[in-house]
Structure 1
Amino acid sequence: MITLVLGGDVNLQGRSAPELAFAPLSSLLSGADLRFVNLEGPLSGSSGTDIPHKPNWRHSPPEMVTALTAAGIDVVSVANNVTYPPRAALAGAAVLDRAGIAHCGAGANQAEAHAPAILERSGRHVAFLAYTSLCWPVGQEALEDSPGVAAASAYTAYQPDPRVLDVPGRPAIVRTAPVPDDLARVVADVHRARTAADHVVVSMHWGLPGDDLTEYQVGYAHAIIEAGADLVVGHGPHTVQAVEVHRGRAILYSLGNLVFDWPAMRGRHLDGLLAGVVLGDRPRLELIPVRRDESNECVPLTGSEATAALRRVADLSARRDTHVAIGNGVGTVEGLGAP
């Protein structure tokens, strides 16, 4: 049995005491064997306009890594849309390496970007893989001989509304699907990871803000579980989305934001989840709601606020035929372990 705590999007900047960034969450993080978050933005330092197509973005200073080390974060995904350009991805990876934090989802070439981070606890090995569907189409994806992120891209098409002939102007229906070559590569990565580890956790940066899932999210998630992953953990929309149990294993479509300092996010997309996971013969998944407060500090919710946040997750998950039981400020996902 191995216990994990998983968080969503984390951005660290502008802190005079970064070692305190996760302090309000310390009691929730400290008891796990492994702690994971998505690191939204490389710790490479800022060079003015770090991302030309996202001019208000600034990469984080390397010294912000102390937020992760003080919180005991063991492994992070670096596969996301702001891990750009590749030189920043490599510089940020070097900072994580010096701090002793494992990472996955980017590297000096495609093989390195698609390689799992494998961590051992109590004689059991957990492989973490990470991919991003949110990706600049030129120069960000790792290729056979060039650095970048591990991409899991999707096609987008627009289907006319069935009533467009009699009601002109009705909006098109958006249809999405995984790019077949990328899907095949992700599935192959999961198969390989299963041979090297007892458990496989796959991180996906994907989706759109709001309650609704895109079709490609479901397509990737189901294929990853069917390939043998124990868990899919999603992030990227900056909002909490549904949990689904597929073939007895959990898909967390989006955990929302955790600690998030980017100034443009102040006062926006405040809610997130921490997921407590037990991997083993008797799997368990618990959800703890968190929210950034008026000072932009991420704190656990309690009382009626926690109940309301969990009811929303339960309602979204019911759309995926998954039941989340709520009690004492914690949501428990039912149906795990059944084939």
Structure 2
Amino acid sequence: MEEFTHENGSRLGQPGDSYDTVGSIATNVADGFTMVAVGDLIVSRALTNYQHTGFGDIVKILRDADVTFGNLEVNIFDIRSFNGSPQAEYGGAYHLSLPEVGPDLKEMGFNIVGRANNHSLDWGVEGMRETSRVLDQNGIIHAGVGENLAQAGAARFLETARGRVAMLSFATTFAPMARAGDPAGEAPGRPGLNALRLAQNIIVPPDLLESLRSVRDVLPGYRVVGRNPDQVVLAGVTFKAGDTAGYSYEADPRDVADILRNVRRGKQFSDFCIVTNHAHEPGGWCEEPADYEQSFARRLIDAGADAYVGHGPHRLRGIEIYKGRPIFYSLGNFFEDDLGTPSGADMFDEYAKDPRVDTDAEVKVAEMASGFTDPIFYESIVTVSRFEQNQLTELLLYPIELGHSKRFADRGIPHLATGSQARGILERLQKHSEPFGTKITIEHSIGMIRLKPGSSR
């Protein structure tokens, strides 16, 4: 007789018990269930009222799905009545949207969004709360922030005609003060986002590690506590020896345990579970996910997730199919419509601008010029996952372009890419997905992944 257990071995229930399905992580959606997933929503204004060229074709794709997901990387409020302030710690830009964005996202077809990212608290707790109010008013389910860690980490639920959908949102890239916390004794919980903390190690060749050790040893105030021949800690940064220089990450075990438990709980209360991670690591320059991410994404699916959706580096990364479930390591940008104003004084300082002379637009253009000039940051995909018999059978990948060559006020709104540009986007995605054993075919400027029922790939 099969027994359902927690990871720690404790008994959940036996088949035949009145609660024998509590531990089940089986998917339970009606045939034809479809999930649309896109990347970052950096949008400052209502867009459906104006006939943006080609945007209507994308809106039709969004509306046709049972669940349509995006990562909301903006705060939504009216600056004229806002009682908060821009924070000293912010995500690199003070992303801000008008309140009309709430109903407009709903009109586009978005019914569920992630909130945990490096911009969640750009405008403090007040901005976080106001954004939640706008989303709630418009019936858009959201997860990833809350009044304490338990709320920020909890699954939120969307009712659809083909099944109940759970979503959890967490971030590995965030401002330190944005991390939510739980109560401890008399100390109250802390509002913020659901974080997965990562310890970063820099890998260098052995000879360079010895050079760093020599630098550390001559610095004043250094005291030898114990010599580790394989690593050096210098100015708070851990360096380790390795054959190839790069970055390595170790996930905080407490955060891992909390997230896995919340995934398991989310699936126990739903028919389909989406888990989403906002991760910049190791950086926007990198085409590959950080070294911790594949194994953790697989653990999330083992815990009950039906899809893992990554975003953050503002560029496409590969796709993996694991146990018949999609893992998107980064879906890039869906919107890059950054016309929100005003910006905080700290951002003016960051780019050597004077708010008495320079405009918000000039500051934002300077920010984009610091690392986002390449057209690849304006090329991405819309993914449509279709399930039959509770198995992923087809994954459609629609290439999109966000108007890289347009003027600042007009770019950032997606349209379907065609011709050589569409093929270029999809061929790049093919290349990024090959290391995961994923085969993407291209037909009529659309990428396709087809699976046989019961197959893992």
Fold agreement, TM-score > 0.5: yes
Q: Deviations over 1:214-270 (max 9, x none)?
A: 112223212111212111011111000010112222100000001122244485510
1:141 Cα deviation from its structure 2 partner: 2.6
1:10 pairs with 2:10:
no
1:288 pairs with 2:321:
no
Q: Which residue of 1 aligns with 2:314?
A: 238
Q: How far apart are the structure 2 equivalents of 1:325 and 1:51?
A: 46
Q: How far apart are the structure 2 equivalents of 1:231 and 1:206?
A: 16
1:38 Cα deviation from its structure 2 partner: 0.6
Instruction: State whether residues 18 and 64 of structure 1, in contact with CA within 8 Å, keep that contact through their aligned partners in structure 2.
Output: no
Distance 1:154 1:261, change over 3 A: same
Instruction: State whether residues 83 and 89 of structure 1, in contact with CA within 8 Å, keep that contact through their aligned partners in structure 2.
Output: yes
Greater shift after overlay, 79-88 or 279-288?
Answer: 279-288
1:256 pairs with 2:373:
no
Instruction: State whether residues 59 and 109 of structure 2, in contact with CA within 8 Å, keep that contact through their aligned partners in structure 1.
Output: no
Q: How far apart are the structure 1 equivalents of 2:162 and 2:436?
A: 35
**Is the partner of 1:138 in helix, strand or coil?**
helix
1:74 pairs with 2:74:
no
1:172 Cα deviation from its structure 2 partner: 4.0
Question: Which of residues 67, 75, 78 is equivalent to 1:42?
Answer: 75
1:6 Cα deviation from its structure 2 partner: 1.0
Greater shift after overlay, 256-265 or 197-206?
Answer: 256-265
Q: Which residue of 1 aligns with 2:60?
A: 27
1:17 Cα deviation from its structure 2 partner: 5.0
Structure 2, gaps ≥5 residues long: 1-30, 184-188, 213-242, 339-363
1:154 Cα deviation from its structure 2 partner: 1.2
- Counting only pairs closer than 5 Å after superposition, residues 101-112 of structure 1 correspond to structure 2 as 101-112=140-151
1:328 pairs with 2:444:
yes
Distance 1:333 1:161, change over 3 A: farther
Q: Which residue of 1 aligns with 2:382?
A: 274
Tell me the percent identity.
28
1:142 Cα deviation from its structure 2 partner: 4.3
Q: How far apart are the structure 2 equivalents of 1:114 and 1:90?
A: 16
Q: How far apart are the structure 2 equivalents of 1:9 and 1:211?
A: 17
Q: How far apart are the structure 1 equivalents of 2:274 and 2:293?
A: 16
Counterpart residue type for residue 7 of structure 1: V
Distance 1:166 1:52, change over 3 A: closer
Give the count of matched residue pairs. 338
Q: How far apart are the structure 2 equivalents of 1:64 and 1:194?
A: 30
Greater shift after overlay, 18-27 or 212-221?
Answer: 18-27
Q: How far apart are the structure 2 equivalents of 1:166 and 1:178?
A: 27
Q: Which residue of 2 aligns with 1:156?
A: 200
Counterpart residue type for residue 88 of structure 2: P
1:331 Cα deviation from its structure 2 partner: 1.3
1:113 pairs with 2:144:
no
1:179 pairs with 2:252:
yes
Distance 1:49 1:91, change over 3 A: closer
Greater shift after overlay, 171-180 or 284-293?
Answer: 171-180
Q: Which residue of 2 aligns with 1:315?
A: 431
1:87 Cα deviation from its structure 2 partner: 2.6
Instruction: State whether residues 105 and 131 of structure 1, in contact with CA within 8 Å, keep that contact through their aligned partners in structure 2.
Output: yes
1:153 Cα deviation from its structure 2 partner: 1.8
Counterpart residue type for residue 119 of structure 1: L
Q: How far apart are the structure 2 equivalents of 1:87 and 1:99?
A: 19
Instruction: State whether residues 148 and 181 of structure 2, in contact with CA within 8 Å, keep that contact through their aligned partners in structure 1.
Output: yes
The alignment's TM-score, normalised by the length of structure 1, stands at 0.90
Instruction: State whether residues 289 and 309 of structure 1, in contact with CA within 8 Å, keep that contact through their aligned partners in structure 2.
Output: yes
Instruction: State whether residues 120 and 178 of structure 2, in contact with CA within 8 Å, keep that contact through their aligned partners in structure 1.
Output: no
Q: How far apart are the structure 1 equivalents of 2:448 and 2:251?
A: 30
Q: Which residue of 1 aligns with 2:269?
A: 196
1:304 Cα deviation from its structure 2 partner: 2.0
Instruction: State whether residues 244 and 320 of structure 1, in contact with CA within 8 Å, keep that contact through their aligned partners in structure 2.
Output: yes
Q: How far apart are the structure 1 equivalents of 2:120 and 2:46?
A: 23
Counterpart residue type for residue 312 of structure 1: R
Q: Deviations over 1:272-316 (max 9, x none)?
A: 111101134241221111111123121111122111110110111
Q: Deviations over 1:117-137 (max 9, x none)?
A: 211222511111111111111
**Is the partner of 1:215 in helix, strand or coil?**
coil
Instruction: State whether residues 66 and 162 of structure 2, in contact with CA within 8 Å, keep that contact through their aligned partners in structure 1.
Output: no
Question: Which of residues 302, 306, 317 is equivalent to 1:226?
Answer: 302
Distance 1:52 1:198, change over 3 A: same
The higher radius of gyration belongs to 2
Counterpart residue type for residue 298 of structure 1: P
1:175 Cα deviation from its structure 2 partner: 1.0
1:164 Cα deviation from its structure 2 partner: 3.9
Instruction: State whether residues 322 and 334 of structure 1, in contact with CA within 8 Å, keep that contact through their aligned partners in structure 2.
Output: no
1:82 Cα deviation from its structure 2 partner: 0.4
Deviating runs (4+, > 6 A) in structure 1? 165-168
**Is the partner of 2:75 in helix, strand or coil?**
coil
Counterpart residue type for residue 279 of structure 1: F
